[in-house]
Structure 1
Amino acid sequence: MTVLNNLWRCAVPVATVWTSPASARDIDVAGTGNPVNLVKWLEALQYKERLDLCEENRVQTQLLYGEEVIVDEIIKDWAKIVAIHQPSAKDQRGYPGWVPLTQLIESNGSESNKFAIITADKVQLWTEDEMPLLVLPFNTILPLRDESLKYYHVDTPNGKAYLSKNGVEITSSRATGNPTTMEQAVIKGTAFLDLPYFWGGMSSYGYDCSGFTYNMAKASGIIIPRDAGEQKEAGQAIDKGNPDEWRIGDLLFFANDFGRAPVRHVGFYFGGGKMIHSPQTGKTVEIIHLSGTKFEEELCGVSRYQAELG
């Protein structure tokens, strides 16, 4: 069956976008169903299985609950999608890939000019009867319908539901948090220190390097490209040879062959000669001194982004 330009929404807390329907392995079953069991899935993935996601090019990116996608095609139990809020050179409409059909639901066309964005690591979503429904990760954005003393009333793929107000803010954008500064993006990033790296990761269950920078920027009011190489090109170029010109929140880019190869990594400048980043499989989000590391030799660019304030 072929579907053209249909708007759907992610129906699970985190949906992984796979390179093809054949990319998901038997060990990934807990991460491809609905309900999705992210903790069980991630706990089952040892270093070898996590590295395989990257080396075999199995995973492209991830979606958060309620995130909008265009469904181009449905083949059996899989949907070929484009994540419209994740800019990519792979498709001018957004980031492409494949998602299990059970993890998507057709959009109900809900209109709102205010949205609730999760600013804590994770927040409980409740039914209207105040029964626990789902646990939602950082940066999940849902249309706001109303509010009470205790809850924000939101429109979700499961219908009307309640979000605990603690750890949630209201934004006017369906794609980002309230505009602030990239320095604030760095501060937000410190909340995820020691979080294990996850290839293609776009949630507070695990980020890859560019997923980390993308999401902290998104939380701070600005959408940047999803992938590191495109993040470098889309920002304002800053002299990489003059660290005195760098600002906290600038993006630092790295490449093999002493910075001459294509971009392979990105992190935030933390100030004082330090970087905060999500390094690689087997490691966790960390703050490091650049001096004396391989990153000092591999620096290939510095880019700056600014949210539109006011």
Structure 2
Amino acid sequence: MTQAEATRTTWVVQVPVATVWTSSESARSIDLPGVSNPSKIKEWLDQLTYETSLALSDDNLVQSQLLYGEEVIVDNIEGEWASVVIPTQPSKKDERGYPGYVPVRQLKEIPEEEWTGNGIAVVIKNTTLLIDDKGEPMFEISYLTSLPAISEEGEFIKVITPHGIGLVPAQDISIYPSREHIPKGNGEAILKAGKTFLDLPYFWGGMSSYGYDCSGFAYNMHKANGYVIPRDATDQAASGEEIKLDEVQPGDLLFFAYENGKGNIHHVGIYYGDGQMIHSPKTGKTIEIIPLKGTIYENELCSARRYWKESEDR
């Protein structure tokens, strides 16, 4: 092994949820709880008004989010900000993954050999509590947070975290040999995952169980079922299997465009069956199941795509 191989490192997120900003100038004073370490995701979301939440999209401030322990490529560090790419979030913006800016304080550089366990532990509850190796509570982590697993410790699973060894309740996680071994669910399994988030408030750029945007909701319900799909709705509409609108099945993605379906795609939902969809609508609304008939969505529906397969039962 060469010296370079011996010192290879990876950058991981060391806060429960790290927001990915459009630039190093995007965060406002009201966003301080969201860019701090420790981050205070609940406090931040609670203090945002409708107007300050809407500005995250209207003023192009936020791109996406990352979960605790998620790996990023750091391209450059500019003062207190890191220019990053997210390999697990495919995007036409960069062939390596989704680009954006994250506060350096929310990232940690770790030797690669220290970020390897005996498989991965994936959070399957909306949230769970991370505990340190002394048994003291650390903080809450989101649905689909993935950490290297070490061993079973009674009612807990010992995991590797950016803060050292941690424990998570065994009942709140699933363990797999690798991400590639997460069982691939069918359309109904995608809907089952989605229904657990009914009434969760929409959040622009949201990729955690504290709030999803429309494409983040679609992305994560697929991720929970073993599929990696593009991060944004326009990219999601350009991949997968094209499905005729009169042949959609539960779990398929429905896309909506301006100008009565002829303009740019601006929204995605998951077909629920019986002419309904489950989706995360917009700022000020919550995840809901609605009929398409008689709504603006009926006129704007433009295409459908399928990423799921029937090959495996959950």
TM surpasses 0.5: yes
Q: CA deviation at 1:113?
A: 5.0
**Which residue matches 2:162?**
157
**Which residue matches 2:265?**
263
**Which residue matches 1:246?**
248
**Which residue matches 2:202?**
197
Q: Point out the more displaced range, 279-288 or 168-177.
A: 168-177
Q: CA deviation at 1:7?
A: 2.8
**Which residue matches 2:308?**
306
Change (3 A) 1:163 1:98: same
Matched, 1:80 2:86: no
Q: Which secondary structure does the structure 1 equivalent of 2:196 belong to? A: helix
Once residues 284 and 189 of structure 1 are traced to their aligned partners in structure 2, the CA distance between those partners, rounded to angstroms, is 12
Change (3 A) 1:141 1:175: farther
Q: Which secondary structure does the structure 2 equivalent of 1:107 belong to? A: strand
**Which residue matches 2:279?**
277
**Which residue matches 2:178?**
173
Once residues 308 and 99 of structure 1 are traced to their aligned partners in structure 2, the CA distance between those partners, rounded to angstroms, is 38
Once residues 107 and 68 of structure 1 are traced to their aligned partners in structure 2, the CA distance between those partners, rounded to angstroms, is 10
Q: CA deviation at 1:134?
A: 1.5
Unmatched 5+ residue regions in structure 1?
none
**Which residue matches 2:38?**
35
The superposition leaves residues 53-109 of structure 1 with CA deviations (integer Å, 9 ceiling, x where unpaired) of: 000000000000000000000010000000110000100110000000000001331
Once residues 44 and 282 of structure 1 are traced to their aligned partners in structure 2, the CA distance between those partners, rounded to angstroms, is 14
CA contact (8 A) 2:187 2:249 kept: no
Q: Point out the more displaced range, 178-187 or 71-80.
A: 178-187
Q: Point out the more displaced range, 205-214 or 300-309.
A: 300-309
CA contact (8 A) 1:182 1:220 kept: no
Q: CA deviation at 1:179?
A: 2.0
Once residues 121 and 58 of structure 1 are traced to their aligned partners in structure 2, the CA distance between those partners, rounded to angstroms, is 26
Q: Which secondary structure does the structure 2 equivalent of 1:155 belong to? A: strand
Q: CA deviation at 1:172?
A: 2.9
**Which residue matches 1:129?**
134
Q: CA deviation at 1:176?
A: 8.1
Correspondence for 2:239 among 234, 239, 247: 234
Change (3 A) 1:175 1:64: farther
Q: CA deviation at 1:294?
A: 0.7
Q: CA deviation at 1:193?
A: 0.5
Count of aligned residue pairs for this structure pair: 303
The superposition leaves residues 189-221 of structure 1 with CA deviations (integer Å, 9 ceiling, x where unpaired) of: 111100000000000000000000000000000
Q: Which secondary structure does the structure 2 equivalent of 1:233 belong to? A: coil
Once residues 171 and 76 of structure 2 are traced to their aligned partners in structure 1, the CA distance between those partners, rounded to angstroms, is 39
Once residues 108 and 102 of structure 1 are traced to their aligned partners in structure 2, the CA distance between those partners, rounded to angstroms, is 17
Q: Which secondary structure does the structure 2 equivalent of 1:71 belong to? A: strand
Correspondence for 1:26 among 15, 18, 29: 29
The superposition leaves residues 24-61 of structure 1 with CA deviations (integer Å, 9 ceiling, x where unpaired) of: 00000000010001111011100000000000000000
TM-score of the two chains, using structure 2 as the length reference: 0.93
CA contact (8 A) 1:73 1:81 kept: yes
Give the letter for the 2:270 counterpart: F
Q: Which secondary structure does the structure 2 equivalent of 1:22 belong to? A: coil
Give the letter for the 1:256 counterpart: Y
Give the letter for the 1:142 counterpart: L
Give the letter for the 1:87 counterpart: P
Determine what percentage of the aligned residue pairs are the same residue: 48
Q: CA deviation at 1:128?
A: 1.0
The superposition leaves residues 131-187 of structure 1 with CA deviations (integer Å, 9 ceiling, x where unpaired) of: 001200101001111112211111111111101112211123347843222321111
Q: Which secondary structure does the structure 1 equivalent of 2:144 belong to? A: coil
TM-score of the two chains, using structure 1 as the length reference: 0.95
- Which structure 1 residue ranges, 4+ long, deviate > 6 Å from structure 2? none
Q: Point out the more displaced range, 96-105 or 164-173.
A: 164-173
**Which residue matches 2:296?**
294
**Which residue matches 1:147?**
152
**Which residue matches 2:3?**
none
Change (3 A) 1:146 1:309: farther
Unmatched 5+ residue regions in structure 2?
1-7
CA contact (8 A) 1:176 1:218 kept: no
